[in-house]
Amino acid sequence: MAKTGADLLVERLLDWGVDTIFSLPGDGINGIYESLRTHQDKIKLVLVRHEESAAFMAAGYAKFTGKLGVCLATGGPGGIHLLNGLYDAKYDGQPVLAITGSAAHDLSGTYWQQDVDLVKLYGDVAACNERVMGPEHVPIILDQAIRTALGQRTVAHISFPKDFQDWTTSDDKISAQNVEGHTKPVLVSSEVAPTQAQLQKAADVLNAGKKVAILAGRGALGARAELEQVAELLGAPVAKALLGKAVLPDNSPYTTGGLGLLGTAPSQDVMEECDTLLLVGTHFPYLEYYPKPGQARTVQIDLDATHIGLRTPVEVGLLGDSKTVLQGLLPLLQPKDDHSFLEKAQDNVKSWQELLTERGTQEATPMKPQVIPHTLSPLLDSDAIVTCDCGNNTTWAARYIQMQEAMQFSTSGLLATMGAGLPYAIAASVAHPGRQVVALVGDGGFTMLMGELATAVRYKLPIKVFIFNNQALGQIKWEQIVMEGNPEFGVDLENIDFARFAEACGATGFTIRETKDAERTIREALAHDGPVVVNCYVDKNEPAMPGKVSTSQAIEFVKALASGERDTSEIVKNVVKNQFREAIATKGKSLLDVIPGL
């Protein structure tokens, strides 16, 4: 019996092991939906409220499973909506396949309704980007798209004309050059290792170092054991890029925590003092947080050759996956007798943790945002999955959520887009039923795609969403003040009672306004069997400052206050109170030391 183009698509996806698709329907993909209906016992369709969410969920699904994420949208506006989530996947190196519908093949380009040339539009975001030319073309081009997405860890796209979805193979004639059966699904290992000579050259650099530091990112997530062995041999503290937060648990004796604006002072101390740096699976983008050029001899491990030397001068580049490369490197490393550099970092971490505890237990009105993640963190399951949005909430999640052995964490990394936290949590819960999934989001990011709470209710996903409700686009506010030296402008948000919104969607809502209520309410929220939103009212004037404040940042801060920042008195009061302990923890790099008059 002849099969439709849509059936060929769905069955080929099944051959590749695809079991979940995130989508919102439309007339441009009705043929594919009919095939999904007839195959619903084998492949799950997750119906979303916005196509942007479908792409975010596909990216999150890839992050939390290591498998291909798939999203499906109609042509025109549906395909356009996918773009933000697809760029998120591309920039964070996640394999995602986007399938879009389009006008019938013989009406394409004639200003037909919703006829957008998505192949042209996707030219930058998708490494494989093709239009289906008929039913017989489906298996071949789908194989190529999936091979590209998996092999290059990136986005692939196929545009599927509406009429070809319903055509059968009997309506199509295969070309003489297209040998039937010449392509089929095949999964290829990503284990890649450099030569022994390259490994020895890298080992020579690391062995010669007196103060070796490691910066690990998302590419090292599968190499925890090897990373710990290297850190022990070299006496090397390990700083973590944000997407590598789960590389080592935060109680590991080797890690100093995150790096950068969201990171810790001990990590920055390590970068400023090291004479040798090992980069493992990261191209962390903030150049100012690396050792200064010429300060540290650097070895970099990465699966993508274009990342090596991208951010800082590299003496030895090792192309390959982190686990395999570290396994090859370990026998060549010489144990260091002097672990004083690591021990100093460990002492700094203790001081930093004391500072976090002090800030996370403040009895203040309005409630400090640090209270929520500080209280939440020890209550999480040991294998919890944590997502966060982009904004001030990212700072609080990055610093206060302490990773345990089997936990997973992610957010939108290089794209750093708002709106991803909730869709990521939904994808994680779909991918890992039974595991605790928690999202920490801002009121700004949550409202972008808050309709997806109804998706969580529909599929009975027991996600727990904590909203930092400061009635502002807080990250942008502090960028205006600290980075630009301007008073805040255009960042106020009208208050929404998110607990009542949750109830309206069929979820459960809680509200926290005071520190004394935080633990009790968080325990109740975590124990509830179903989707939950916790509306956390927090201080809008609490600055999410870097772990170490530069003089230039301090000067811009003063300029903003002098230019008429309306909340000057409250901001200064918070800064003085919070920076007092940081003056000790950061050794003369707090605002107290660089702002005149404080």
Model confidence at 115, pLDDT cuts 50, 70, 90, reads confident
Alpha-carbon span 336 to 27, nearest angstrom: 65
Quick one: pLDDT at residue 340? Answer: 98
pLDDT tens digits, one per residue of 281-318: 999 999 999 999 999 999 999 999 999 999 999 999 99
Q: Do domains 196-346 and 362-584 have the same CATH topology?
A: yes
Computed over every residue of the chain, the mean pLDDT equals 91
Alpha-carbon span 577 to 573, nearest angstrom: 6
Domain spanning 362-584: CATH superfamily? Thiamin diphosphate (ThDP)-binding fold, Pyr/PP domains (3.40.50.970)
Pick the residue with more confidence: 430 or 568? Answer: 430
DSSP assignment of 394-405, as one string?
A: HHHHHHH----T
Quick one: pLDDT at residue 571? Answer: 59
Mean pLDDT of 319-338: 97
Quick one: pLDDT at residue 3? Answer: 87
The helix (run of H) or strand (run of E) holding residue 99 is strand 96-102
Mean pLDDT of 89-111: 88
Alpha-carbon span 204 to 211, nearest angstrom: 14
Question: Within a 10 A sphere around the Cβ of 275, how many other Cβ atoms?
Answer: 15
As given in the structure block, the two tokens for residue 556 are: 């811009």
Strands 276-280 and 69-73: unpaired
Model confidence at 566, pLDDT cuts 50, 70, 90, reads low
Which residue, among 153, 136, 134, 34, has the nearest Cα to 90 in the 3D structure? 153
As given in the structure block, the two tokens for residue 346 are: 């460990």
Strands 20-23 and 69-73: parallel
Quick one: pLDDT at residue 565? Answer: 54
Q: Which DSSP category does 23 fall into?
A: E
Which residue, among 88, 83, 69, has the nearest Cα to 417 in the 3D structure? 88
Quick one: pLDDT at residue 372? Answer: 98
Are the beta carbons of 547 and 522 closer than 8 angstroms?
no
Is the torsion defined by CA of 463, 469, 472, 476 positive or negative? negative
Strands across the sheet containing 316-319: 255-258, 238-240, 212-216, 276-280, 297-302, 316-319
Domain boundaries, the chain: 5-166, 196-346, 362-584
Mean pLDDT of 456-460: 98
Is the pLDDT at 551 greater than 50? The verdict is no
Are the beta carbons of 230 and 333 closer than 8 angstroms?
yes
Residue type present at position 151: G
Is the pLDDT at 100 greater than 80? The verdict is yes
Domain 196-346 has CATH 3.40.50.1220: yes
Quick one: pLDDT at residue 583? Answer: 44
Model confidence at 592, pLDDT cuts 50, 70, 90, reads very low
Spell out the alpha helix ranges (H) of 187-339: 196-208, 224-234, 265-273, 322-329
Residue type present at position 462: P
What's the topology of domain 5-166?
Rossmann fold (3.40.50)
Alpha-carbon span 598 to 592, nearest angstrom: 5
Task: Record the pTM.
Answer: 0.92
Is the pLDDT at 230 greater than 50? The verdict is yes
Are the beta carbons of 174 and 114 closer than 8 angstroms?
no
Out of 25-29, 456-460, 583-587, which region has the weakest mean confidence (pLDDT)?
583-587
Quick one: pLDDT at residue 159? Answer: 97
Alpha-carbon span 524 to 358, nearest angstrom: 24
Phi, then psi, of 130 in degrees rounded to 5: -135, 155
Is the pLDDT at 597 greater than 50? The verdict is no
